[in-house]
Amino acid sequence: MEAAPTPRVRKSAAERRDEIVAAAIGHFAVGGYTGTSTEAIARDAGISQPYLFRLFRTKRELFLACHEVSHGRIVETFRAAARDVPKEERLKAMGNAYHELLEDRTMLLFQLQSYTAAADPEIQAQVRARYGELVREVAELTGAGPEDLWRFFGTGMLLNVIAALDLPTVGGIDEWVALWC
């Protein structure tokens, strides 16, 4: 006697969108906006390319949805780090929490790719707007002034470079690397 086939569970469009975005972030992280194939994303998400374009009208729309997820992750990390911490300690707590985010190499590379994709005016507008929202969120959560915000975000960008170049694994190569890591 043969076992009955397992019935396929239909997923909602929202669930499919989430799956597609998760697959797309990995592809965009490696290939960037222009170098990523929507066909490969669809294949990894287990759907057809026409269905991908039914849920996301354009590759740009998909990239922007991925950016929203990336941005939201950072915002939520900062909010969680600031929760129940005295205001004067929040910047440090948020910096430490951000440092932990950098361990997810795929998300880090996607974040960096979002800056590279800013050659596209629509992507640039969203990335710029969300970055501004993030600066305002950190200012509101911490009460930090312009100089402290500049230092916080400047340090964050330097941490991005250190993590992207995987400098901690090569710390002994140059003195400056050892000092920075």
Query: Taking 70 as the threshold, does the pLDDT of residue 165 lie above it?
Result: yes
pLDDT score recorded for residue 124:
98
Mean pLDDT, residues 32-57: 95
Confidence of residue 6 (pLDDT cuts 50, 70, 90): low
pLDDT score recorded for residue 105:
96
Confidence of residue 93 (pLDDT cuts 50, 70, 90): very high
Confidence of residue 180 (pLDDT cuts 50, 70, 90): confident
Mean pLDDT of the chain: 93
Alpha carbon distances (Å) from 78 to 69, 71, 82, 87, 169: 14, 11, 6, 13, 27
Percent of the chain with pLDDT over 70: 94
Query: Taking 70 as the threshold, does the pLDDT of residue 7 lie above it?
Result: no
Do 138 and 78 meet the contact criterion of CB atoms below 8 Å apart? yes
Q: What is the pTM of this model?
A: 0.89
pLDDT score recorded for residue 2:
65
Do 162 and 181 meet the contact criterion of CB atoms below 8 Å apart? yes
Helices (H), the chain: 13-31, 38-45, 49-55, 59-82, 90-101, 105-116, 121-142, 146-164, 175-180
